[in-house]
């Protein structure tokens, strides 16, 4: 398992950056590099359910491990969900990466925000995530600085 880290300094306050990351209207804009029509569905509760899915409803099922809006959120990935909404948290394929974390930490720099993202990933997904985060966080920066 690899841990990848990304940072971006954004000339905007914490709350604005947070809102761009997690607002349904802007989430799909910065995550399109991971997959077209990316969506997040969450109850926004620690220990609750969060789904990172495509337009067909397929994707990952996760939980929020830690939440301190607008300073940090840590997702713990639990498994996959198919088009019918069936969750897989028990297959051997899923168990190889289940429990991986995805963290977003926002640090106030006197009106600017340092956005730090960190993700645990299997080596074969490293290039895909590098591409998604590098391009995606630039979109977050552009949207927040408008």
Q: Report the C-alpha gap between 90 and 71 in whole angstroms.
A: 32
Q: Give Cα separations from 116 to 4, 100, 111 (angstroms).
A: 11, 17, 16
**pLDDT tens digits, one per residue of 97-120:** 889 999 999 999 999 999 999 999
Half-sphere exposure (CA, 13 Å, Cβ side) for 112? 8
What is the pTM assigned to this prediction?
0.92
Question: What's the CA angle centered on 97, arms 92 and 103, to 5 degrees?
Answer: 160
What pLDDT score does 61 carry? 96
**pLDDT tens digits, one per residue of 17-43:** 999 999 999 999 999 998 889 999 999
The domain total for the chain is 1
Q: Which domain holds residue 71?
A: 2-144
For residue 67, give the CATH number of its domain.
3.30.530.20
């Amino acid at each position: 398992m690899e841990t990848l880290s990304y940072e971006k300094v954004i000339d905007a306050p914490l709350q604005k950056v947070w809102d761009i990351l997690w607002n349904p209207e802007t989430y799909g804009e910065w995550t399109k590099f991971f997959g077209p029509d990316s969506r997040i569905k969450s109850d926004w509760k620690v220990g609750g359910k969060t789904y990172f899915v495509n337009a067909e409803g397929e994707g990952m099922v996760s939980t929020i491990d830690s939440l301190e809006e607008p300073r940090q959120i840590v997702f713990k990935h639990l498994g996959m969900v198919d088009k019918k909404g069936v969750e897989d948290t028990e297959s051997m394929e899923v168990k190889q990466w289940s429990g991986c974390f995805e963290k977003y930490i926002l640090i106030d720099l006197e009106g600017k925000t340092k956005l730090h993202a960190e993700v645990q990933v299997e080596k074969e997904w490293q290039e895909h995530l590098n591409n998604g985060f590098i391009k995606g966080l630039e979109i977050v920066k552009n949207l927040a600085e408008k």
